[in-house]
Amino acid sequence: MAVEVVELKDVDNMAPRIDSFEIGKLNHENDKPYLDITWSATDNCPNSVSVWVDQGYLERRYPDSDNTMTAQINPFEPEDWKDKWTGGKNSFTVAPCGMRWYLDDPAASGTVWIAFQDVCCNEATETTSFEGFEFDLGILIEVEGMGKVIGPEPGRYPYGKEICLTYEATDCWYFVEWQVEDRKGTWTDDSRELCFPLTGDSTVTAIFKQYVYTVYVVDDPTGAASELTADATYLCGATACVDATPTDCYDFLYWNTGDATESGPSYCFTVEGDVTLTAVFKIKQYEVTLSASPTNGGTVTGADTYDCGSEVTVVATPADFYDFVGWFAGETLVSTNTEYTFTVTEDVDLEARFTIESYNVVFIRSHPGVRVGQVVITPNPDIKLDEDRVFGNDLVLSLETTLVLERGNYLLEALNRTGFTLIPNLTFVTWTLEGGVSTTNPWTSGNIDIELTGDATITATFN
């Protein structure tokens, strides 16, 4: 093979000088890990550059044009290398992203060698290496969350190590998801256990949220409460307070929580789940008491125990020969109807008042008194009705008077005029009964029992 002979004379008067030789941070192309290799060397007659690596392979990303070697060389060569790359004089400087070193195992150590030669075979070499990459693993718990992450502690771990994390949620909290920020970006997972290989700095956040529960409030029976705490949502562990105010017709009994009962219309508790609270009420009951006056004047119906708010109708039925006057509460007239309907809101005591039928009765006596001038000087004969004088005064001269009497039984007694010397005595002779009056006694008896059933005329005859 022909070898180009180069006449150098006094041109190549310096050896190559390495200005820089560096490997960059670990990157990935898809899932292939790689390092950027950069270098720079100075020489007035550059010839070739050689690079060796002990794992993976090399790839020149942006080859330079006209990068041929001026002379054939036998450069330095390390032991145990796996891949080699050689370039010409235009490769004495390689910028970032110009050469990639693809790694088999970033967790294992690696070494890279470089050699620069000029046309006179002067050579400069350098070696750099890494011990195996390690990365930071950060584990955070969301500040508004309450829970615990179980797994490796935050720290540094070798490339490719499988990280597995689980969680325990605090009471009243539940797990939402894992949020992971790593070289791939940000991704989430809602699995119970999170496992992934560590291939770069990673931050894991466990997101927990607090349960939200609803407290439902109802009254039993429906409508028994005038004021009732509305349904509402609460964070688990919060304190909820409910209040119930009964209507006028109900008494509050207790809160029914489903598992127990709580007395008192105001109740506070710790919310630990959805719950329906029932405010239990009892309707008030009142007595409706009825009476008739007089007791034989009629009958009354409707007396009983009633729920508050009930409509009640009481009925008064007059007895024969009685008229209904009205319903009275004490001395207050509340209705003149025999059927009286009202709403019960308290104990009620009603009296149905009746009056017996009344008649006009004309009383007549056969003799008045004797008048001397303007003075009545003699008493008159008279009639007693149940011990009361009908004409009322011995000196009254009238023969006739009218009284209004209730239907019923009476005792009549004739009063004679006796014991006088200047005027004749008057002695009862007979009764005359006309109209709605009757007796079972002889009319000639001075005392008789009568039954009044209508308008009547009663005459007492004296002689």
Count of domains for the chain? 5
Q: What's residue 159's pLDDT?
A: 87
Q: Compute the radius of gyration of the chain from its Cα atoms.
A: 64
Q: Which two tokens stand for residue 211?
A: 């349960």
Q: Which two tokens stand for residue 379?
A: 């008493």
Q: Is residue 2 part of a domain?
A: no
Together in a domain, 221 and 195: no
Q: What's residue 212's pLDDT?
A: 97
Spell out the per-residue pLDDT of the chain, length 463, in tens: 333 444 444 455 678 999 999 999 889 998 899 999 999 999 988 888 999 999 999 998 777 766 777 766 677 889 899 999 998 888 888 887 789 999 999 989 999 999 999 888 788 999 999 888 887 777 776 656 899 999 888 888 888 889 999 999 999 999 999 999 988 889 999 999 999 988 888 889 999 999 999 999 999 999 999 999 999 999 999 999 999 999 999 999 999 998 888 889 999 999 999 999 999 999 999 999 999 999 999 999 999 999 999 999 999 999 999 999 999 999 999 999 999 999 999 999 999 999 999 999 999 998 876 665 565 555 678 899 998 999 876 556 778 999 999 999 999 999 887 666 556 778 899 999 999 999 999 999 999 999 999 999 999 999 8
Q: Is residue 4 part of a domain?
A: no
3-class SS string, the chain: CCCCCCCCCCCCCCCCEEEEEEECCCEEECCEEEEEEEEEEECCCEEEEEEEECCCEEEECCCCCCCCCCCCCCCCCCCCCCEEEEECHHHCEEEEEEEEEECCCCCCCEEEEEEEEECCCCEEEEEEEECCCEEEEEEEECCCCCEEEECCCCEEEECCCEEEEEEEECCCEEEEEEEEEECCEEEEECCCCEEEECCCCEEEEEEEEECEEEEEEEEECCCCEEEECCCEEEECCCEEEEEEEECCCEEEEEEECCCCEECCCEEEEECCCCEEEEEEEEECEEEEEEEEECHHHEEEECCEEEECCCEEEEEEEECCCEEEEEEEECCEEEECCCEEEEECCCCEEEEEEEEECEEEEEEEECCCCCEECCEECCCCCEEEECCEECCCCCCCCCCEEEEEEECEEEEEEEECECCCCCCCCECEEEEEEEEEEEECCCCCCCEEEEEEEEEEEEEEEEC
Together in a domain, 372 and 393: yes
**Contact partners, residue 23, CB within 8 Å, separation at least 6:** 35, 36, 37, 101, 112, 128, 130
User: The pTM is what?
Assistant: 0.63
Q: Is residue 427 part of a domain?
A: yes
Together in a domain, 162 and 249: no
Q: Is residue 10 part of a domain?
A: no
Q: Is residue 3 part of a domain?
A: no
Together in a domain, 413 and 427: yes
- Of 210, 237, 261, the residue that ends a domain is 210
Q: Is residue 6 part of a domain?
A: no
**Contact partners, residue 224, CB within 8 Å, separation at least 6:** 246, 247, 249, 250, 279, 281, 283
User: Which range of residues forms the domain containing residue 302?
Assistant: 286-355
- Of 148, 176, 210, the residue that ends a domain is 210
Q: What is the CATH number of the domain that holds 141?
A: 2.60.40
Q: Is residue 254 part of a domain?
A: yes
Together in a domain, 371 and 313: no
Together in a domain, 29 and 124: yes
Together in a domain, 331 and 376: no
- Of 337, 355, 373, the residue that ends a domain is 355
Q: What's residue 11's pLDDT?
A: 56
Inter-residue contact 224 to 281 (CB < 8 Å): yes
Q: What is the CATH number of the domain that holds 32?
A: 2.60.40.10
Inter-residue contact 172 to 211 (CB < 8 Å): yes
Is the torsion defined by CA of 431, 437, 441, 442 positive or negative?
positive
Q: What's residue 9's pLDDT?
A: 46
Together in a domain, 267 and 246: yes
Together in a domain, 391 and 404: yes
Together in a domain, 218 and 206: no
Q: What's residue 1's pLDDT?
A: 37
- Taking the alpha carbons at both ends of the chain, their separation in whole angstroms is 196
Q: What's residue 343's pLDDT?
A: 97
Together in a domain, 59 and 118: yes
Q: Is residue 177 part of a domain?
A: yes
Whose structure tokens read 């011995």? 394
